[in-house]
Chain A
Amino acid sequence: MRVVIAEDQALLREGVTALLREYDIEVVAHAEDAAGLLRIIGGHKPDLAIVDVRLPPTFTDEGVRAAIEAREKHPGLGILILSQYVEPAYTAELLATGEGGIGYLLKERVGEVRTFLDAVHRVAAGGTALDREVVAELVGSRGPSGEAAALESLTPREHEVLGLMAEGRTNAAIARALVVTLGAVEKHISNIFTKLDLPATDGDHRRVLAVLAYLRAGGDA
């Protein structure tokens, strides 16, 4: 796996690089700002870009904007955003960019080495990894929209399952996390699809739609 990192703070840039190298993930290039990130992505064609939300010169949300731009130029590129703050609005914007893996984690998650590496692999492979804080905030939010009303009809257990789906977990991982059987998880997911009125076409597609409904209810409410 080939990874690039955009992070202006040397301490964290070097720390994450060392951490990834320790676990045999190749960090091919660094950037300290948004322009640098776009340049190294163009030059190195990595599988994954790990991007800090805040980059010079304005230290606001250049990281997110640059990531969205990079995604438009390089479809399929995995983007893992690291942020000091949970901001569901950014999640919705990133998920709207289409093809490829998306991750959005709080910075301190890099300390949870196994969780972090898991997220890195998942996003590079085209999956999703949302921080549990982002998910909790989306679950906790409520709004008057139709999707929100449909989400309210979910049982607490189904909510939990949908939350884990939004984090990007597979059915097997959800079963492990909730200490239930794989069959029970599939039953919950099927109930979620029915309650959210998602037609039985392609399973993966419905999964993304369910998660999007969930995020929109949080993102737009």
Chain B
Amino acid sequence: MRAEELTAPISEGAAGTAGGPSARAFQGRGVDTTRLLSLQIAIGAIAGFATTVIWGMAGGGSYWPAWVWFGFGVPIALNVALRWAWAQPKGFKRRISVQAAISAVLWCSEVTAWVLAGRGGTFWPIYSGTGYLVLLALHAAIWGRIPPEREAVLSARIDQLTRTRRGALDVQAAELRRIERDLHDGAQARLVALSMQLGIAEDRLSDQPEIAAMFRRARGEASAAIAELRDLARGIAPPILADRGLEAAAEALGRRAAIPVEVDANVPWRTLPVIETAAYFVVAEGLTNVAKHAPEASARVTLDLDTERLLVVIADDGPGGADPEGGGLTGLRHRVEALDGHLTVTSPPGGRTTIRAELPCGS
């Protein structure tokens, strides 16, 4: 609302002061330049034909209606040229294009005028043409040099940030897998060995049931520690994901979920680990949310990978009304956006909740 209120009078005022129809075309937004162009052509054609008829009835001679055609033709050319210039990308390219368009139309009109005037004397449009070129060159030299440098700096910076962010995420994913492996090879292995020693001791002490029971309790503690480490490791970097890929991992999540889950996967090849991990956590968090907020619901997980992107959709038939800014969902959104993806949550009250994540994975 407010944006319209602000822009409407400005564009009207600009069109009013700038006056001519071409200036309106130049204004672009809000004015139907195509209709204006048709009108210009129609009026020009009527005037041209009318004067040609008058010229014919007056008995011919020097074809003076050419000046009428010329007079109506210049604004039409200006309109067309400015429409082209305005279609250029905003910024330096558009500014230089506008200047070039105006220069070209003016110079062509001058040449036409020179021709219509009988091609006499020196080819005077050469002077103004040179002038236009000098002005264009100046514009390009002054404005063209500074912004491209800045643009180049910015685009180099964006490239660098994109690269380092991706690199940081890759490093993070690799680190998490390393931590998971260290847990597996270090603490877990030692606890298993401990549990084995306790088991053998327990077995040998079968004639002393009280002491054997103490060993059994100790072994129970070791087993509980192993189980806790296992859950921790699985939360850090799920081994099934690394081993068998996203489809198998999503199915494993579905099996472990407290609600019925159907997985519909079209994942014909493995994608980057960092993308797989993000998708995995979207599914994990999505299913946890469904189980938490809609324990009576069932869910459907859809995975679809093509050369451009990986699409992850978790839909449930619960009561809806989920908060899209909820803690877990915000965390997921950050994870997805860090990979230049999008995450949307639709959850109308009384309707189904859908979490949809799109992760670009084109090379």
Q: Which of A's residues lie within 8 Å of B, judged by CB?
A: 9, 11-12, 15-16, 19, 22, 54, 59-61, 84-85, 87-89, 107-108, 110-114, 116, 137, 140-144, 218, 221
Q: Are the CB atoms of A221 and B200 closer together than 8 Å?
A: no
Ordered by A's residue number, 9 sampled pairs between the chains whose C-beta atoms are within 8 Å are: A60-B242, A60-B243, A84-B188, A88-B255, A108-B192, A112-B219, A113-B202, A141-B255, A141-B256
Give chain A nearest CB distance to B263 CB in angstroms: 9
Question: In the complex, which residue of chain B has the Cβ closest to the Cβ of A137?
Answer: B255
Residues of B within 8 A of A54 (CB): 184, 239
Specify which of A11, A110, A141 is in contact with B190 (CB 8 Å cutoff).
A11
Which residues between 169 and 208 of chain B lie within 8 Å of chain A, taking CB atoms? Answer: 181, 184-185, 188-193, 195-200, 202-203
Question: Contact size class for B?
Answer: 35 or more
B230 close to A (CB within 8 Å): yes
* Contact status A111-B230, CB under 8 Å: no
User: A110 with B192: in contact, given A87-B252, A141-B255 (CB under 8 Å)?
Assistant: yes
User: CB-defined interface of B199-239 with A at 8 Å, one 1/0 digit per residue?
Assistant: 11011000000000000000100110011001001100001
Contact between B191 and A108 (Cβ–Cβ < 8 Å)? yes
CA distance A107 to B227 in the complex (A): 10
Q: Decide if A89 touches B252 in the complex (CB within 8 Å).
A: yes
Q: Complex Cα distance A87/B253, Å?
A: 11
Q: Are A22 and B193 in contact (CB under 8 A)?
A: no
With contacts A15-B193, A85-B234 taken as known, whether A113 is within 8 angstroms of B200 at the C-beta atoms is yes
Known pairs A87-B240, A108-B223 / 4 extra A-B pairs, C-beta < 8 Å: A12-B193, A107-B192, A113-B196, A218-B255
Question: B251 an interface residue at 8 Å Cβ cutoff?
Answer: yes
Asked if B196 contacts A89 (CB within 8 A), the reply is no
- Report the minimal beta-carbon distance from B215 to chain A, rounded to whole angstroms: 10
Query: Closest chain B residue to A110 by CB distance?
Result: B196
Residues of B near any A CB (own CB < 8 A): 181, 184-185, 188-193, 195-200, 202-203, 219, 222-223, 226-227, 230, 233-234, 239-240, 242-244, 248, 251-252, 254-256, 260, 262
**CA–CA, A15 to B193, complex, Å?**
7
Cross-chain pair count, CB within 8 angstroms: 90
CB distance from A137 to the nearest CB of B (A): 6
Q: Tell whether, in the assembled complex, residue B203 and residue A108 are in contact, meaning their CB atoms are under 8 Å apart.
A: no
Contacts of B203 in A (CB 8 A): 113-114
Docked Cα-Cα span, A116 to B198, in Å, equals 14
Distance between B244 CB and nearest chain A CB, rounded to angstroms: 7
Decide if B185 touches A9 in the complex (CB within 8 Å).
yes
B244 A16 Cβ-Cβ under 8 A? no
Write the nearest CB–CB distance from A104 to chain B, whole angstroms.
14
A61 to B240 alpha-carbon distance, docked (Å): 9
Q: Which residue of B lies closest to A8 (CB)?
A: B185
Residues of B within 8 A of A141 (CB): 254-256
Taking the closest CB of chain A, its distance from the CB of B229, in whole angstroms, is 9
Name B198's contact: one of A22, A89, A111, A137 (CB within 8 Å): A111
Of the listed residues B195, B222, B226, the one surrounded by the most CB atoms of chain A closer than 10 A to its CB is B195
User: Is B260's CB under 8 angstroms from A61's CB?
Assistant: no
In whole angstroms, what is the CA distance A114 to B254 when docked?
34
Q: Which residues of A contact B233 (CB under 8 A)?
A: 84
Q: How far is the CB of A163 from chain B (nearest CB, A)?
A: 15
Shortest distance in angstroms between A144's beta carbon and chain B's nearest beta carbon? 6
Among B181, B240, B248, which residue has the most Cβ atoms of chain A within 10 A? Answer: B240
Instruction: Indicate if the CB atoms of A111 and B234 lie closer than 8 Å.
Output: no
User: Contacts A60-B239, A84-B230: A143 and B223 contacting too (C-beta < 8 A)?
Assistant: no
Pairwise interchain contact B262-A84, C-beta atoms closer than 8 A: no
**Once the chains bind, are B239 and A11 in contact (CB under 8 Å)?**
no
Contact, CB under 8 Å: B239 / A85: yes
